[in-house]
Structures are given as structure tokens and as C-alpha cells.
């Protein structure tokens, strides 16, 4: 009997962090679980295999993190970055429910390591995975398979039969054949639509052709589209996404974390005309890095250029590509194919606007500009010490926020606000419920882990099919 002829209680679509947390939880609750993953084995784990850390609340240093990070601080951070575009009861529930994540994960094979340094000041708030997201995903697959979850790779869900908000069956294409899979409950954890350039183009126009997709090419958003077409409630703005400034030499898909350019707050960022366009030192990097992809996306040609001098070297994690290097600002401008006169004028104006202060990378220091528009609010040292370095920047899309509405049990809400009887959602596909805009480092995995477990628990209550 093939796996498609067997009976399952719970069908999980998507084998990243959210789907795996759901599958493990449902199986531990006694359900027979089938997990379908559209990618081949090698690419299993979606965007989750690129991650490094997650954020969860804790009342004290816990052996993984260096100090307390309580509900109210987590909530304040979320409120600030989303500018209020979040669902407070749902977000607070998520934060509270995150408290036992560290121990839950370790009990299922995930290992942690001390916080990485560089420009991410995260030692107190975020737990770093030993071996990164790839090791986390491998641990979860090992656990899921040991528990008896059936996993099929290269199995793409192409259609969903949903009647009156109730899941009936899924159409799956595997090895060139179509199958119909029935289960008592469905968990959708198939990511956002970030890898679907035509869909991005619907909202960004031709600019989308210049976007680089940092993660898996398999997050095409087909399951999200199916749910919305079958009557699920839409949440989130289709233009909102997590997008960072990455090295313009990164591959079109799946370049991962090592292409991110982390020296923005230590330097100046110019557009194609050699002009600054945003405060590079507005706030700590973990609270600001995720806005730079959108900022670059709004510039002509969807490109930016970051300039630093030798004082910045060693203070940030370099990308996998070496920076362009020059002995003068004019020479660097030439190498970046920018107009040397304008770039020199921009840097000179900035240098004269910097005010003396005590540079301290670990706090919001008093090194700032005066009379400059836009200002640089912190870490504003003159760019005056050769050699100078530059990177070409492009928008690197991490994940989109458009999703389906969910309730506090991770049940998918239908357009009229009633929860689906047997469909739950977790991860990127519902991230827009708590992330209306903005981002704080590590919350993508919090969302997937918390709602993944809730979705698995909820789906398992539907019993034998
Ligand atoms: C480079 C990078 C670094 C990141 N770093 C961090 C970090 O350090 N901390 C953090 O919190 N977040 C980070 N994120 C964000 C994080 O990866 C996501 O928020 C999280 O992994 C989403 O989990 P998920 O399970 O929803 O999606 P995914 O892990 O992407 O899993 C979705 C899965 O669904 C599968 N799928 C899609 N469509 C179908 C279909 N039709 N049928 C079957 N399967 C389908 C895909 O193949 C994929 O495997 C990072 C993302 C990237 C790209």
C-alpha cells in the first residue's frame, strides 16, 4: 500500500519549522500524521533551514540566554516595530506560550549555543541554534520520523477541497502522478509567497524583478492562494514583508544568511544618485535591519550602496563576498559606478555634520549628526579613515506577511470571522496576524513554533478519520 492509500488523521502541508512542530505535536497526541513537503529531501526545511535563532520570553537567565526577557518587554518591542499593526490578544498569547519553547525544543533534539557576536545584540533575548536552522530542521525530522510521522518529499499540494469552511481533501502531485489525500484535519504551514515573482510583481510592479529571494524557491504561496480563494479571511498587506539589504552579488534564490550586509549602521547608505535617503543609525540593528530591504526597493533601480571606512572593520559580521576596497572616497565611488563628485560631496557634508561623542556600539550612543537631512542619530563617526569599503545592496526578500486569519487555537478564520472546523495554520502563512509590518529578530521562528504546536494540538483533537 502506498502512503497515499493509507488513512491519516492529520495532514500537514509544508515541512519547515511550523509544519514540523505541528506534525510532532499532533503525533505525540496520538494522531496518525502525514507531512507533505514540495521540496526534495536536500532542500527540506524551507526557509527554516536558513535560520540562526529564535526569541522567546523568559523570567531569568536560563543557561541559553544571559538575562530576563519578560512578556511586557517582548510586547513593547513588538508594538514598536509593528507600529501597532498587530493583534494584541493573539500576540500576547503567543509571547506567553513561547515561555517553554527552549525546553520543548531541547526535548526534541534541538541544541543551543552561545549568542553570536557581530551587529546583532541578541544574547539576552534570542536563543541560537547549534548548527543553525539546518541542524534544527534535521533534529525535528529525526524526531518526527522516530515518532512515526509519514513524510513525503517532492509532494506538492496543488488543490484543496473545502466545503463550508471544512477541509475535505487535498490534491497532491508526486512523481508525476496526482493523488487525493483525505484526513480529519489539515494544518497549512506552506510558507508565504515570497518566491513567487509574478505574485510579487502584482504588488510591486516591475521593481519585483530586481528582488533577490533569500530563502527557498519552493514558497510559491499556492496553498495561501487556495485558502483565500476558498473563503479564508485575508490578513496583512501584500506589500509588507521582511526584507533586508543584501549583497547585490547574491544568487537569485536561497543565498541564505551569509549574503546579508550588516554594516549599514556603521556607515552611510547612498542611492544610485549618490545621495543618502534614510537615518542609518536610527535604532539598534536587530530592530532596524529588516526595514532596509524595503528602503532599497523604493530607490531607483532597486539598488543601494553602503560605504564604511576602516574604523568599522571587525565590528560586524562580513558577508560571504569581499567588499570593494579603495584608498579614497572618489576611487570607491568609481568602483561602485557612482558619480565621484556627488559621493564626495555627500560624504563631506555628512562628515561636517557629525558631532563629537563617545562611540559605543552596544548602546544608543551620542555620536550623531546635526543639521543634516536625513540625520544619522547614533554611531555617526566621520567616514575619514582609509581604506574605504563599499557594497552594492539589493532588496533581499525573506518572507511575506500576507496570510490567513487565525484564532488563539491556530484555527483558520473564514472571511465572516468564524473559525474553520478542521483547518489550522502556522508560520509564515499566518504571520501577518501578529506582524502587520516591521520585524524583530527571531520572531519568525517564535510564530512558527508557537502556532505550529497549537495547530498540531488542535488538529489532533479531530481523532481518527
Ligand atoms: C536567510 C534567512 C534567515 C532567517 N533567519 C531567521 C532567524 O534567525 N530567526 C527567525 O526567527 N527567522 C528567520 N528567518 C525567517 C524564518 O525562516 C521563517 O519565519 C520561518 O522559517 C518560517 O517557517 P515556516 O515553517 O512557516 O516556513 P518554511 O520553513 O519556509 O517552510 C515552508 C515549507 O512549505 C513547503 N511548501 C510550500 N508550498 C508547498 C506546497 N504547495 N505543498 C507542499 N509543501 C509546500 C516549502 O517547500 C517549505 O519547505 C530567516 C529566513 C531566511 C530566508
Q: Determine the pLDDT at residue 23.
A: 98
Q: Average of pLDDT values for 155-183?
A: 97
pLDDT tens for each residue of 412-434: 999 999 999 999 999 999 999 99
pLDDT tens for each residue of 352-364: 999 999 999 889 9
- Per DSSP, 173 falls in state E
Q: Average of pLDDT values for 289-302?
A: 92
Give Cα separations from 70 to 94, 96, 232 (angstroms): 13, 9, 33
**CA of residue 182 to ligand 1 center, whole Å:** 25
| Residue nearest (by alpha carbon) to ligand 1 atom 41 | 157
Judge contact between 263 and 308, C-beta under 8 A: yes
Angle at 455 between CA 454 and CA 458, to 5 degrees: 85
| Closest to 260 (Cα-Cα) out of 380, 397, 373, 124 | 397
From start to end of 164-312, where are the E strands?
Answer: 166-174, 177-188, 212-213, 234-235, 241-247, 268-270, 304-309
Q: Determine the pLDDT at residue 464.
A: 53
Q: Determine the pLDDT at residue 287.
A: 76
Q: Average of pLDDT values for 371-389?
A: 98
Query: Which secondary-structure segment (H or E) carries 420?
Result: strand 419-425
Relative to the CA of 443, which ligand 1 atom is closest? 11
Q: Is the per-residue pLDDT at 120 higher than 80?
A: no
Judge contact between 169 and 180, C-beta under 8 A: yes
What's the Rg (C-alpha) of the chain? 23
- Between helix 71-82 and helix 88-97 the angle, nearest 10°, is 140
Strand-strand pairing, 234-235 and 212-213? unpaired
Q: Is the per-residue pLDDT at 462 higher than 70?
A: yes
Give Cα separations from 269 to 79, 103, 245, 390 (angstroms): 27, 41, 10, 10
Q: Is the per-residue pLDDT at 463 higher than 90?
A: no
Q: Is the per-residue pLDDT at 117 higher than 70?
A: no
**CA of residue 48 to ligand 1 center, whole Å:** 4
- Give the dihedral sign, CA 349/353/357/358: negative
**CA of residue 18 to ligand 1 center, whole Å:** 8
Banded pLDDT at 244 (limits 50, 70, 90): very high
Relative to the CA of 219, which ligand 1 atom is closest? 37
Relative to the CA of 172, which ligand 1 atom is closest? 42
**CA of residue 50 to ligand 1 center, whole Å:** 8
Best residue among 15, 16, 222, 259 to mutate for probing ligand 1, ranked by most atoms within 8 Å of CB: 16
Q: Average of pLDDT values for 142-169?
A: 97
Q: If DSSP codes are grouped into helix, strand and coil, which group holds residue 172?
A: strand
Judge contact between 459 and 423, C-beta under 8 A: no
Best residue among 47, 122, 221 to mutate for probing ligand 1, ranked by most atoms within 8 Å of CB: 47
pLDDT tens for each residue of 205-231: 999 999 999 999 999 999 999 999 999
| Residue nearest (by alpha carbon) to ligand 1 atom 19 | 444
| Residue nearest (by alpha carbon) to ligand 1 atom 18 | 444
Judge contact between 411 and 185, C-beta under 8 A: no
| Closest to 279 (Cα-Cα) out of 373, 370, 365, 362 | 373
Relative to the CA of 158, which ligand 1 atom is closest? 41
Output the average pLDDT for the chain: 95
Q: Average of pLDDT values for 324-343?
A: 98
**CA of residue 15 to ligand 1 center, whole Å:** 9
Concatenated DSSP letters of 293-318 = HHHHHTSGGG-EEEEEEGGGTTSS--
Banded pLDDT at 289 (limits 50, 70, 90): confident
Q: Is the per-residue pLDDT at 236 higher than 60?
A: yes
Q: Is the per-residue pLDDT at 119 higher than 60?
A: no
CB environment 217-247: b (16+ within 10 A), e (fewer): ebbbbbbbebbbebebbbbbebebbbbbbbb
Q: Is the per-residue pLDDT at 184 higher than 80?
A: yes
Q: What are phi and psi of 292, to 5 degrees?
A: -75, -25
Q: Average of pLDDT values for 287-305?
A: 92
Q: Is the per-residue pLDDT at 8 higher than 90?
A: yes
Q: Determine the pLDDT at residue 63.
A: 83
Q: Average of pLDDT values for 265-290?
A: 93
Q: Determine the pLDDT at residue 14.
A: 98
**CA of residue 301 to ligand 1 center, whole Å:** 28
Concatenated DSSP letters of 86-123 = S-HHHHHHHHHHGGGHHHHHHHTT--EEPPP-TT---T
**CA of residue 462 to ligand 1 center, whole Å:** 26
Residues belonging to the chain: 465
Q: Determine the pLDDT at residue 350.
A: 98
Q: Is the per-residue pLDDT at 465 higher than 60?
A: no
Please, what's the largest Cα pairwise distance for the chain?
75
Judge contact between 309 and 385, C-beta under 8 A: yes
Q: Average of pLDDT values for 435-451?
A: 95
Relative to the CA of 428, which ligand 1 atom is closest? 26
The residues lining ligand 1, judged by C-beta closer than 6 Å to any ligand atom, are: 13-19, 36-39, 45-48, 50-54, 156-157, 189-191, 214-216, 218-220, 222-223, 256-257, 398-399, 427-428, 442-445, 448
Amino acid at each position: 500500500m502506498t502512503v497515499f492509500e493509507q488513512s491519516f488523521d492529520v495532514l500537514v502541508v509544508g515541512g519547515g519549522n511550523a509544519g514540523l512542530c505541528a506534525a510532532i505535536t499532533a503525533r505525540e497526541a496520538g494522531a496518525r500524521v502525514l507531512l507533505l513537503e514540495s521540496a526534495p529531501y536536500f532542500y527540506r526545511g524551507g526557509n527554516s533551514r536558513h535560520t540562526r535563532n529564535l526569541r522567546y520570553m523568559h523570567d531569568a537567565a536560563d543557561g541559553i540566554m544571559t538575562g530576563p526577557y519578560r512578556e511586557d518587554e517582548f510586547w513593547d518591542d513588538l508594538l514598536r516595530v509593528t507600529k501597532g499593526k498587530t493583534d494584541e490578544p493573539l500576540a500576547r498569547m503567543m509571547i506567553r506560550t513561547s515561555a517553554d519553547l527552549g525546553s520543548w525544543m531541547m526535548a526534541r533534539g534541538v541544541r543551543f549555543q552561545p549568542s553570536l557576536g557581530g551587529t546583532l545584540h541578541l544574547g539576552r533575548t534570542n536563543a541560537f541554534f547549534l548548527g543553525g536552522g539546518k541542524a534544527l530542521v534535521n533534529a525535528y525530522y529525526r524526531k518526527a520520523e522516530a515518532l512515526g510521522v509519514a513524510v513525503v518529499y517532492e509532494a506538492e499540494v496543488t488543490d484543496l477541497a473545502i466545503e463550508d469552511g471544512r477541509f475535505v481533501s487535498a490534491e497532491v502531485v508526486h512523481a508525476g502522478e496526482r493523488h487525493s489525500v483525505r484526513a480529519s484535519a489539515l494544518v497549512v504551514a506552506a510558507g508565504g509567497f515570497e518566491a513567487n515573482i509574478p505574485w510579487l510583481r502584482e504588488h510591486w510592479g516591475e521593481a519585483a524583478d530586481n528582488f533577490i529571494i533569500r530563502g527557498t524557491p519552493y514558497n510559491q504561496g499556492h496553498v495561501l492562494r487556495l485558502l483565500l480563494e476558498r473563503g479564508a479571511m485575508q490578513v496583512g498587506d501584500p506589500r509588507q514583508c521582511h526584507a533586508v539589504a543584501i549583497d547585490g552579488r547574491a544568487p537569485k534564490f536561497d543565498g541564505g544568511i551569509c549574503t546579508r550586509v550588516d554594516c549599514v549602521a556603521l556607515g552611510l547608505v547612498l542611492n544610485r544618485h549618490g545621495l543618502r535617503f534614510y537615518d542609518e543609525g536610527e535604532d539598534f540593528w536587530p530592530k532596524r535591519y529588516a526595514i532596509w530591504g524595503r528602503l532599497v526597493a523604493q530607490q531607483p533601480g532597486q539598488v543601494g550602496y553602503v560605504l564604511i571606512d576602516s574604523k568599522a572593520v571587525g565590528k560586524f559580521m562580513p558577508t560571504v563576498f569581499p567588499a570593494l576596497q579603495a584608498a579614497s572616497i572618489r576611487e570607491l565611488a568609481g568602483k561602485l559606478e557612482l558619480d565621484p563628485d556627488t559621493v564626495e560631496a555627500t560624504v563631506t557634508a555628512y562628515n561636517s555634520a557629525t558631532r563629537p561623542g563617545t562611540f559605543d556600539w552596544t548602546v544608543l550612543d551620542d555620536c550623531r549628526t546635526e543639521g543634516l537631512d536625513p540625520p544619522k542619530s547614533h554611531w555617526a563617526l566621520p567616514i575619514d579613515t582609509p581604506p574605504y569599503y563599499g557594497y552594492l545592496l539589493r532588496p533581499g526578500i525573506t518572507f511575506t506577511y500576507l496570510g490567513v486569519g487565525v484564532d488563539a487555537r491556530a484555527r483558520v478564520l473564514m472571511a465572516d470571522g468564524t473559525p474553520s472546523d478542521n483547518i489550522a495554520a502556522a508560520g509564515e502563512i499566518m504571520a501577518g496576524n501578529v506582524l502587520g509590518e516591521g520585524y524583530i529578530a527571531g520572531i519568525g521562528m517564535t510564530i512558527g513554533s508557537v502556532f505550529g504546536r497549537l495547530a498540531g494540538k488542535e488538529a489532533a483533537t479531530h481523532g481518527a478519520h
